[in-house]
Structure 1
């Protein structure tokens, strides 16, 4: 094998060229510069051949250094307690005092300081409570690392610290040293501590903005022996949140021989507000609390409860169980690849929270199979999920017995605290009465204004698509909705009897409403706009078509004989104008091949009641026709259908009069329908309604 070495060592010729062209001239220049310095530089010469002046200067310098060293050795550091306290008090606008002895040891490779009886007062608005009182603090720093621009503390020992943290409803925090500085959301960063000792620590929290109180004990110690299981960091606390119990436990390993490149493991459990959060992970760079990774498991009765614990506004939901990867990178928190169940529906996705100057949340959520009742909880419905988590039912979705529209109050103040975006898609939906098959939702929240776009429900046949906007910048939110229904089957509204649908066809509709209200029910009760429903064509059982015109002879005979023949629906149009939550019929027409029915009346969206009157005219002669309108009244959830008995009695009276004056056969004329009704102009009616 040929060896590639220079000269006798057979190095390649390009190395020889490099040596001759670059290295040899460079060496010669360095030697020339050295020789010049030796011969001409006065500083170098004075060091090699010091004169009387140089000797005097060196002696004075040494004496000064020696004097400083002796001064520092004999200096009483307690003399600096007052100046240090006054300087810190002025800088942080609170009383700060070193009330005990101050000891400093500078002459070591690990200089140290001991502070006794430190008082750290509260701000002006919380002067009755000191932010911190510490009996003793001992800290040392590694000098070699300090010269390299790094702070590394071999020891930090804190004895009996008592810390009181207060936050007010208007956002003030007693521990904030620079309240005027914008909150970037970054975590606290401490220098590397090789050994941390905390003895008998106490932490009190009074978070008035979230109605949280907590009393916690803090310890950090090394193991006294190999079998000592109490080594490491431990914080345990109990308190209350919104009047219910709160517990907190944070555990970590011992603080000994910690390095920057070795993650520090921890486990944290927080239980309260009907929720339980468990995180197991590691701080990637001790002691940079702004960066860590963990596995987070959370469960509870309602995701909305987590606002009290996290400050993130979430919708109302049934009970939930979720687990995923939680990561923090300063102000950015991510909850990725999580999965679990909300109610009886599966839920997975990614959530990103930027806790910078203004909270911003981005969420992408999906469900493989959605229970539509779980979605109703978001709208404020009262739902129940069984213990197995396999089925959710809506118990009461309205503001009272028989009411349909949810009346849960929208928490507008929470919507103002953050911005965000949301996408949600349910690939499939469990069997339901509305025959919904897929759901697709999108939302953007910015500056207190929530835009829902799209709001899309795909049925077995047909779709409901629309948008909604909620302006929560005012105490009473103002909302606007625009929903379109396309191709929804009428047989899904009126169930089949005996295997045969009494009415078939496709419905088109649109609802455009706006108005104030902090719940769906209150919004509907004060809304204005329009509601329209159109059936371009279809079929209905002939008996029912005849009865629209109260054609007793034809309708009852067909009904009693079990006749299943069909009548065509030329069109059906219901167009309502809404004012003050009351929808009044502008156009109400049902046109079949045998009867033309026209209606009047109103629907009260506040009380959820209707009062409609339908007058039918036959297009064909009928013998027995009752000259009375049909009334549809009562609750929207359970309307009643009847006839006006007064008109029937009057018609019967007319029959008696004819029978007494003329002849019995002539009396039948009071019940005869000549059949003069004409077809409605369906094209014009449909165009106007749309």
Structure 2
């Protein structure tokens, strides 16, 4: 019995002693443990360690050194709070978690190399060479704090100042570079905002306001969050202003197209690696856009998905993305030759539906497309425009585009199918003395081409594939017809009584691109007055023209030069001239007749016309004339496939 009492008393004394020592903070224990741990920890002799109930460390001063002795942290009047379960999890490989870090002053030096290694002594024993994750701090309370950040995985190089105000608000001011972009960050949060917090922490969101300024841009957020650095449970209003959408996305590793200056607003949310921007409204240049988007960073290749809607979208506002906003570097050229930013297409995937009420082609001479629907898919470096469908001057344009960035140079494929387009509504031009609509009719076209290139000029200069155009139920200006045939007498008569359109029997072009050069196999315009044949070539590689236009009048004329017209030169400087051989023959005949009797010289310019049958675009091709100076291009009819109509143009908002 006495033994039991003695043992019980001893136990009580031990418990009392342990409790007493814990209440006293185990004087001298914390500094000795830090020195023996050989983990770069150093604290003053006045440090106190409490291991029971609420584990914590209180130290007048605490210093942390790196693996090579470099200073990493220096804090005064420190209080650290943790749970033993957090330490157990850390020993098994989880990131170190501290429930509270409180200090009167704190100076930090945070560095990580590209492999994620850090000099901070936070790796559990037995795994000193493994990359360390950043410690998770649920609550950071620092009256005066500074930090130097050099984080290679985040591509962050910055200096920061932060503090907890007397009313509990948390403020931070950061200046530096993120992914090579100069920026400054100002943030303000409610008391208790964590720097990092795991999902299981269940920390409640607190109010957060942040403003990130770039060289010529600004990103502002006003909402709530449960942690700052990993933006857990982020939810609030976002406002963005910048010189380009690409500049806005670059600091965050998001691949976005180059654009004119923009303003954007919407509701931004983030949870578990998925960012969402809802009810977004944007003005890009003079374009008005809206949409809802999601950016999933959990996958190996981030995925952007969502819906882009609104309008009008001006083609000029897409110019920076496709290189059309820059003057060609080669003198005398008109095709854009600035290289496109194709490597960036390999950094992410995308699936975005597009439903616009209007696509403005940025010229008053072409009517806009309305509405426009398509799907943009980017997968593994292959960009496709699927199910493209647009209303076009009473008709429709359907097609697809595919860009494969893996070959060198990248490979492009384009298919376009146009049906029922009223050309007088789509093409808008005015010319004195001509009728109000010099050309009318319903245009249909098929383009199925492919090419290779890193710029618009390089792509167009390598095109291969067929091109077919046909104008149904059309008409053409009478005066324009006579001018093409150089019929001076009849042209003067039409000019005096007023121009009217002549009904077309047939108007079509059937040709193909080969290595960037378009050569028509058949190009004809036929009405009751004349038949016009066109042959030659248009080279997009060197941007040169060499076309021959031959008009064959069907009626009598007192005064006509009846000479083929040559269109030559370049796209930037086309030149029109009369073919010398035919015109020279008329001149010689006029001189000979004038020698007999001067008035007879005019007989050389009298044309009785030709007895040519009407050309039908649906009928057999007319035979070429044997006496032509060179083979005239005839209407050897293209075999039009059946109309490949896509779905009818959809209304705005439909996917």
Q: After superposition, what is the alpha-carbon deviation per residue over 1:564-616, rounded to whole angstroms, capped at 9, x for unaligned?
A: 23322111222232122221222222222222222211112234443211112
Structure 1 549/146 Cα, relative in aligned 2: closer, same or farther at 3 Å? closer
- Asked if the contact 1:480–1:514 (Cα under 8 Å) also holds between the matched residues in 2, the reply is yes
CA distance in 1 between counterparts of 2:566 and 2:533 reads 12
CA distance in 2 between counterparts of 1:286 and 1:622 reads 86
Q: Pick 1 or 2: higher relative contact order, CA cutoff 8 A, min separation 6.
A: 2
Question: Please, which of 583, 586, 589 is the counterpart of residue 521 of structure 2?
Answer: 586
2:142 aligned residue: 197
1:188-587 alignment, distance < 5 Å = 190=136, 192-193=138-139, 196-197=141-142, 199-205=144-150, 213-214=157-158, 216-223=159-166, 232-240=169-177, 245-255=182-192, 262-284=204-226, 289-356=231-298, 357-382=300-325, 405-428=335-358, 432-436=364-368, 437-474=370-407, 476-491=409-424, 492-493=426-427, 495-497=429-431, 500-559=436-495, 561-587=496-522
Check if 1:112 corresponds to 2:29: no
CA distance in 2 between counterparts of 1:621 and 1:289 reads 83
Shift of 1:188: 7.7
Shift of 1:328: 0.8
CA distance in 2 between counterparts of 1:256 and 1:344 reads 40
Check if 1:610 corresponds to 2:610: no
Shift of 1:79: 5.0
CA distance in 2 between counterparts of 1:583 and 1:182 reads 59
Shift of 1:376: 4.5
1:165-204 alignment, distance < 5 Å = 165=111, 172-173=115-116, 190=136, 192-193=138-139, 196-197=141-142, 199-204=144-149
CA distance in 2 between counterparts of 1:189 and 1:592 reads 82
The alignment partner of 2:480 has SS state of helix
Q: After superposition, what is the alpha-carbon deviation per residue over 1:503-545, rounded to whole angstroms, capped at 9, x for unaligned?
A: 2112222222222212222211222223222223311122322
- Asked if the contact 1:626–1:651 (Cα under 8 Å) also holds between the matched residues in 2, the reply is yes
- Asked if the contact 1:234–1:252 (Cα under 8 Å) also holds between the matched residues in 2, the reply is yes
1:157 aligned residue: 103
Q: Cα RMSD between the aligned structures?
A: 4.3
Q: After superposition, what is the alpha-carbon deviation per residue over 1:219-270, rounded to whole angstroms, capped at 9, x for unaligned?
A: 22341xx7xxxx6322212235788742221222344999966532121111
CA distance in 2 between counterparts of 1:600 and 1:490 reads 23
2:627 aligned residue: none
Q: After superposition, what is the alpha-carbon deviation per residue over 1:160-184, rounded to whole angstroms, capped at 9, x for unaligned?
A: 333344666xxx555598999999x
CA distance in 2 between counterparts of 1:135 and 1:141 reads 15
- Asked if the contact 2:173–2:186 (Cα under 8 Å) also holds between the matched residues in 1, the reply is yes
1:21 aligned residue: none
Structure 1 99/573 Cα, relative in aligned 2: closer, same or farther at 3 Å? same
CA distance in 1 between counterparts of 2:448 and 2:49 reads 77
CA distance in 2 between counterparts of 1:376 and 1:465 reads 22
CA distance in 2 between counterparts of 1:106 and 1:266 reads 33
Comparing 426-435 with 196-205, which one deviates more in the overlay?
426-435
- Asked if the contact 1:131–1:164 (Cα under 8 Å) also holds between the matched residues in 2, the reply is no
Normalising by structure 2, report the TM-score: 0.77
- Asked if the contact 1:624–1:671 (Cα under 8 Å) also holds between the matched residues in 2, the reply is yes
CA distance in 2 between counterparts of 1:159 and 1:687 reads 83
Shift of 1:406: 3.8
CA distance in 1 between counterparts of 2:578 and 2:149 reads 71
CA distance in 1 between counterparts of 2:306 and 2:71 reads 37
Please identify which structure carries the higher helix content. 1
2:612 aligned residue: 677
Comparing 423-432 with 612-621, which one deviates more in the overlay?
423-432
- Asked if the contact 1:316–1:380 (Cα under 8 Å) also holds between the matched residues in 2, the reply is no
Shift of 1:76: 4.2
CA distance in 1 between counterparts of 2:437 and 2:469 reads 20
- Asked if the contact 1:141–1:152 (Cα under 8 Å) also holds between the matched residues in 2, the reply is yes
For the pair shown, the structure with the greater C-alpha radius of gyration is: 1
Structure 1 457/641 Cα, relative in aligned 2: closer, same or farther at 3 Å? farther
CA distance in 2 between counterparts of 1:244 and 1:646 reads 65
Q: After superposition, what is the alpha-carbon deviation per residue over 1:443-463, rounded to whole angstroms, capped at 9, x for unaligned?
A: 011111111123333223222
Shift of 1:675: 0.6
Aligned residues: 595
CA distance in 2 between counterparts of 1:179 and 1:376 reads 52
2:559 aligned residue: 624
Shift of 1:562: 3.8
- Asked if the contact 2:507–2:524 (Cα under 8 Å) also holds between the matched residues in 1, the reply is yes
Q: After superposition, what is the alpha-carbon deviation per residue over 1:357-392, rounded to whole angstroms, capped at 9, x for unaligned?
A: 32111131211544453345543333xxxxxxxxxx
**Which structure 2 segments of 5+ residues have no match?**
90-96, 196-200, 621-635, 642-655
Shift of 1:665: 4.4
The alignment partner of 1:553 has SS state of helix
Q: After superposition, what is the alpha-carbon deviation per residue over 1:389-421, rounded to whole angstroms, capped at 9, x for unaligned?
A: xxxxxxx67667886544443222211111111
